[in-house]
């Protein structure tokens, strides 16, 4: 079931992205030669009208092959990409990014509409406790609400995650009392050098809860919150790409960047631990990430092609079609090699 959901989600994101390019090209009268899911080699393809619809082997994306985009043509010149105004060319290139944002915002609105929107609770909920951590050893339970931390007569109220983290870091290595909303007291000593990813106490905390406000306000607020979530993760993936490229230059395998295998593993874990809505929310974030990455002018992305358009506009004349074709071929080789490296890294991390 998790694989089917993964396959449907990834296919939907790619389909929506490429559909944006396809529809804007068609609406402006351009000829579309091929609409493909995945990158070649082709598995199957069927020609309907003037367009081939294909399924390809490498599951890292998709493409729309538009007439006259890579080279000059001898017929149907009015329907060729290179003969369109720069504004139309830019609209076609940016349509995929816009569609991925719209898809994600729609999903965010639905998810928050069903689950509710976050509201501050002026206390800190213990969402999860790591076994054998200071919190786990003293019996602190998931679902408890911490309202204060005490040490040697000094009592500090905690109304937010920042309050909690600040006081725990302040008293790291010293015995403290965690006071819950029910009046229970838990004695523990925050670790000064905790294992990576666990924190001083070994807990996951939250200072918000989901509240089902009226539907007319919940959905637009959910879309806005989801948009901010997407931008946050988009920025994280931009930084991750920078680190990855730096590692590749140094001859190191990429770390912290997931391809299809890694995304499947993460989405499967989320589905099993948190349910279908959480998995759908995750894929909405991935859709925003797909949009953000496509804005970056790296070989093979929409941002790359838009960058070439911008360069031509500043230059005052087009690049020779032979040069464009070579650039696009080099970009495709770059994407295929990068895809192979990421997939191999995924398999090594998550399968072997």
Q: CATH number for the domain including 122?
A: 2.30.42.10
pLDDT digits (tens, 9 = 90+) for 117-141: 888 999 999 998 988 899 999 999 9
Residue 269 vs residue 1, higher pLDDT: 269
User: Is residue 235 scored above 80 in pLDDT?
Assistant: no
| Cα–Cα distance for residue pair 50/26, rounded to 1 Å | 11
Residue 194 lies in a domain: yes
User: Under a CB-based contact definition with an 8 Å cutoff, are residues 343 and 258 in contact?
Assistant: no
Q: Which of 306, 332, 350 is nearest to 38 (CA)?
A: 332
87 and 123 belong to one structural domain: no
- In the structure, what pLDDT confidence band is assigned to residue 345 with cuts at 50, 70 and 90? low
Minimum mean pLDDT range among 51-65, 71-85, 263-277 = 263-277
66 and 137 belong to one structural domain: no
Which among 211, 231, 261 is the end of a domain? 211
* Residue range of the domain that includes 168: 118-211
Q: Report the pLDDT value the prediction gives residue 26, as an integer from 0 to 100.
A: 93
Whole-prediction pTM: 0.69
Q: Report the pLDDT value the prediction gives residue 160, as an integer from 0 to 100.
A: 93
Which among 182, 211, 240 is the end of a domain? 211
Minimum mean pLDDT range among 45-54, 220-229, 296-305 = 296-305
Q: Report the pLDDT value the prediction gives residue 181, as an integer from 0 to 100.
A: 92
Minimum mean pLDDT range among 58-67, 86-95, 208-217, 273-282 = 273-282
51 and 139 belong to one structural domain: no
pLDDT digits (tens, 9 = 90+) for 257-271: 555 555 656 666 666
Task: Name the maximum alpha-carbon separation found in the chain.
Answer: 86
Q: Report the pLDDT value the prediction gives residue 150, as an integer from 0 to 100.
A: 94
Number of domains in the chain: 2
40 and 92 belong to one structural domain: yes
Buried b (16+ CB within 10 A) or exposed e, 86-104: eebbbbbbbbbbebbbebb
């Amino acid at each position: 079931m998790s694989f089917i959901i993964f396959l449907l989600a990834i296919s939907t994101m790619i389909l929506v992205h490429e559909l944006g390019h396809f529809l804007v090209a068609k609406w402006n009268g351009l000829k579309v030669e091929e609409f493909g899911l995945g990158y070649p080699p082709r598995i199957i393809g069927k020609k309907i009208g003037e367009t081939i619809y294909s399924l390809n082997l490498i599951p890292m994306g998709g493409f729309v092959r538009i007439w006259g985009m890579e080279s000059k043509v001898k017929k149907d010149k009015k329907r060729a990409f290179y003969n369109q105004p720069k504004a139309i060319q830019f609209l076609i290139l940016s349509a995929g990014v816009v569609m991925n944002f719209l898809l994600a915002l729609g999903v965010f609105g639905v998810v928050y509409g069903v689950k509710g929107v976050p509201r501050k609770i002026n206390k800190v909920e213990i969402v999860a406790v790591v076994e054998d951590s200071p919190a786990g050893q003293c019996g602190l339970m998931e679902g408890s609400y911490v309202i204060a931390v005490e040490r040697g007569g000094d009592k500090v109220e905690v109304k937010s995650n920042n309050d909690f983290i600040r006081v725990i870091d302040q008293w790291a290595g010293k015995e403290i009392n965690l006071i819950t909303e029910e009046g229970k007291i838990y004695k523990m000593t925050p670790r000064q050098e905790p294992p990576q990813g666990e924190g001083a106490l070994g807990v996951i905390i939250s200072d918000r809860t989901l509240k089902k406000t009226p539907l007319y306000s919940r959905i637009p607020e959910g879309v806005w919150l989801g948009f901010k979530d997407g931008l946050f993760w988009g920025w994280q993936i931009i930084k991750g790409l920078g680190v990855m490229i730096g590692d590749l230059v140094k001859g190191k395998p990429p770390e912290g960047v997931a391809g299809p295998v890694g995304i499947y593993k993460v989405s499967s874990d989320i589905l099993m631990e948190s349910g279908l809505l959480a998995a759908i929310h995750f894929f909405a974030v991935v859709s925003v990430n797909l949009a953000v990455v496509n804005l970056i002018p790296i070989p093979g992305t929409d941002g790359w092609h838009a960058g070439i358009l911008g360069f031509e506009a500043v230059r005052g004349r087009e690049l020779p079609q032979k040069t464009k074709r070579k650039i696009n071929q080099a970009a495709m080789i770059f994407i295929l090699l990068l895809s192979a490296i990421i997939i191999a890294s995924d398999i090594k991390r998550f399968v072997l």
